[in-house]
């Protein structure tokens, strides 16, 4: 990093901080302003913010590691979530917006009633706000540390007490905290818009420089075939491919997306559609996210991962390929811009996650159990929560070593309750006990799969055991416990009026559904084909 690179990074950090502070007034009136932007976020800003949130600094490292270990087809580990994300866009985004919730956990006590609903809401809110959220932020910090070390930035720091990696991250995290705590969601989404453009531009720059060095796409593909790595170019795994067993691919495509805890959108996406003006805007935001996330942002990272197989074969830690290629190819100035793009990816995700986690702590725990309505006091609690979550995540990150392993662990411990979260919208019989049973069983089975007593179990097998093992518990629990009270079901149905199996409730309320579920399902299948087809079409044009 030269002086020019550091000037570029400093200008970026100052600009981001300035934009966040300019928008501080938009988040300073109430927690509705702070957490959902006063429900006035335009769809294109919400869409870009969702894409920026899923694009962390760990993402190019994670994708490079996937390509090195499993080839291009390894990306089905996250491509498969497009099925759920399109379902969210077509079917669920309008229902979430119609419900009028501030957080997705708030829906728990609209859909269910009594003590089980209250216990489920506060338990899930705490788990997602603190341990799960902090692990998510933490592995982003882990990736940022890997970048800092790989670029040799620690050598440029003056002597400081303690761990120098912490000092390298501290100014970045402080900038994020200042504008997030000051401006709330408006500051997050506005900076996300700039950060997403910068992050995509940086990824394209690294890919172009790397491809130029190996002689272009055709030369790279030939080099992979000559070295015996031709299978890495496959868009889907072949039956004899040992790096990605077909059973694992089957698990990604037919189990993971509906069994995962974010099958109905998940907290950060729900927060974005809840921040839009109406149902139409919510749908456009979710569809825009799918296009940006899968069709546009995938391939620069994949190409860098393939180049790394040619020029950096046999890396002990394949996740370091991306920053190593940055250092190898980028000239002064360009290196500063691309490093700033990784900072952008990191900051966009951290700002979203601390704001989202704080919304659970404030709305679903503090307000739920204290009844506090003083908006100034609630805003103070919200800002203190963002600081506390960031500090906890920083501590957690120093106990992690592999971005990919942490990502797969988070997928596995969240597998099980996804199908219940989907069905609760469309089937009146689903109750709080079913969701509790699915969540607990899925978590226990996932953790058990990592115990030494079970040996090394393929990830696809773990997915199947966790998903169907959870189902074997929650279905009997649901039928052995009472349905939700009629007045609870009627109140929820009047507010949302979804399609599906609500016949007894429709009869009691005299209201029909606002949506044609059959038409929505057909449209979901069509848009899934468009999104995944577009992603694979770009890959086929590049790799043939």
- With CA atoms as reference, report the closest residue to 420 among 467, 456, 460: 467
pLDDT in tens, 69-122: 888 988 998 999 999 999 999 999 999 999 999 999 999 999 999 999 999 999
pLDDT in tens, 232-265: 898 988 755 556 777 778 888 888 888 887 888 8
Is the pLDDT at 486 greater than 90? The verdict is: yes
Torsion angle of alpha carbons 130, 136, 142, 148, nearest 10°? -110
DSSP state of 106: G
**What does the pLDDT read at residue 107?**
94
For residue 15, the tally of other CB atoms under 10 A from its CB is 13
Beta bridge partners of 501: 427
> Is the residue at 197 inside a domain?
yes
**What does the pLDDT read at residue 154?**
67
DSSP state of 415: B
Distance CA 109, CA 95 (A): 16
Of 55-64, 237-246, 534-543, which range is least confident?
Answer: 237-246
Range of the domain at 268: 3-413+514-543
> Is the residue at 534 inside a domain?
yes
Helices 334-359 and 133-150 pack at an angle, to 10 degrees, of 170
**What does the pLDDT read at residue 103?**
92
> Is the residue at 503 inside a domain?
no
pLDDT category of residue 161 using cuts at 50, 70 and 90: low
Distance CA 530, CA 464 (A): 27
> Is the residue at 492 inside a domain?
no
> Is the residue at 90 inside a domain?
yes
Of 311-315, 464-468, 478-482, which range is least confident?
Answer: 311-315
pLDDT category of residue 419 using cuts at 50, 70 and 90: very high
Number of domains in the chain: 1
pLDDT category of residue 52 using cuts at 50, 70 and 90: confident
Q: What is the pTM of this model?
A: 0.88
> Is the residue at 88 inside a domain?
yes
* Three-class secondary structure of residue 314 per DSSP: coil
Distance CA 224, CA 231 (A): 9
For residue 162, the tally of other CB atoms under 10 A from its CB is 7
Distance CA 509, CA 384 (A): 43
**What does the pLDDT read at residue 251?**
83
> Is the residue at 377 inside a domain?
yes
Domain containing 355 — which CATH number?
1.20.1730.10
**What does the pLDDT read at residue 447?**
81
CB 294 within 8 A of CB 531: yes
The per-residue pLDDT of the chain, averaged, comes to 86
pLDDT in tens, 271-308: 999 999 999 999 999 999 999 999 998 899 899 889 98
Is the pLDDT at 420 greater than 90? The verdict is: yes
> Is the residue at 304 inside a domain?
yes
Alpha-helical runs (H) found in 151-266 = 164-213, 217-226, 246-251, 257-259
More confident residue, 493 or 157: 493
């Amino acid at each position: 990093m030269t002086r020019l690179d550091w000037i570029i990074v400093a200008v970026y950090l100052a600009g981001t901080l300035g934009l966040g502070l300019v928008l501080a007034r938009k988040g300073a009136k109430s927690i509705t302003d702070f957490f959902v932007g006063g429900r006035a976020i335009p769809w294109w800003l919400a869409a870009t913010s969702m894409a920026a949130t899923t694009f962390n600094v760990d993402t190019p490292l994670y994708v490079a590691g996937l390509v090195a270990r499993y080839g291009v087809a390894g990306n089905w580990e996250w491509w498969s979530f497009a099925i759920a994300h399109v379902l969210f866009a077509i079917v669920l985004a309008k229902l979430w917006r119609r419900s009028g919730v501030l957080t997705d956990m708030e829906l728990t006590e609209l859909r269910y009633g009594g003590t089980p609903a209250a216990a489920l809401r506060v338990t899930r809110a705490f788990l997602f706000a603190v341990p799960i959220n902090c692990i998510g932020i933490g592995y982003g910090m882990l990736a940022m540390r890997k970048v800092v070390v790989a670029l040799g930035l620690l050598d440029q720091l003056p002597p400081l007490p303690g761990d120098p990696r912490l000092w390298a991250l501290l100014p970045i995290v402080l900038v994020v905290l200042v504008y997030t705590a000051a401006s709330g969601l408006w500051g997050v989404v506005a900076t996300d818009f700039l950060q997403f453009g910068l992050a995509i531009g940086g990824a394209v720059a690294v890919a172009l420089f790397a491809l130029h060095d190996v002689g272009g796409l055709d030369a790279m593909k030939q080099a992979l075939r000559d070295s015996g790595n031709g299978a890495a170019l496959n868009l889907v795994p072949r039956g004899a491919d040992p790096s990605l067993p077909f059973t694992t691919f089957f698990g990604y495509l037919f189990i993971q997306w509906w069994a995962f805890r974010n099958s109905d959108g998940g907290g950060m996406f729900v927060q974005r559609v809840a921040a839009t003006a109406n149902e139409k805007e919510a749908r456009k935001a979710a569809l825009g996210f799918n296009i940006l996330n899968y069709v546009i942002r995938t391939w620069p990272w994949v190409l860098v991962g393939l180049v790394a197989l040619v020029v950096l074969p046999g890396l002990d830690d394949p996740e370091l390929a991306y920053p190593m290629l940055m250092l190898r190819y980028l000239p002064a100035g360009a290196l500063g811009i691309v490093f700033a793009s990784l900072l952008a990816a990191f900051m966009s995700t951290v700002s979203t996650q601390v704001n989202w986690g704080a919304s659970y702590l404030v709305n679903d725990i503090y307000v739920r159990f204290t009844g506090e309505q003083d908006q100034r006091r609630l805003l103070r609690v919200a800002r203190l929560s963002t600081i506390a979550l960031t500090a906890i995540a920083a501590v957690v990150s120093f106990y992690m070593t592999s971005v990919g392993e942490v990502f797969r662990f988070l997928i596995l411990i969240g597998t099980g309750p996804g199908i219940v979260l989907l069905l609760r919208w469309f089937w009146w019989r689903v109750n709080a006990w079913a969701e509790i049973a699915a969540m607990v069983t899925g978590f226990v089975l996932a953790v058990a799969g990592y115990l030494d007593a079970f040996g090394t179990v393929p990830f696809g097998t773990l997915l199947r055991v966790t998903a169907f093992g959870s189902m074997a518990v929650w279905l009997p629990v649901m039928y052995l416990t009472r349905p939700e009270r009629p007045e609870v079901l009627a109140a929820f149905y009047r507010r949302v009026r979804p399609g599906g199996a609500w016949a007894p409730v429709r009869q009691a309320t005299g209201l029909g559904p606002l949506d044609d579920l059959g038409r929505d399902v057909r449209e979901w299948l069509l848009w899934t084909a468009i999104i995944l087809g577009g992603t694979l079409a770009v890959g086929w044009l590049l790799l043939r």
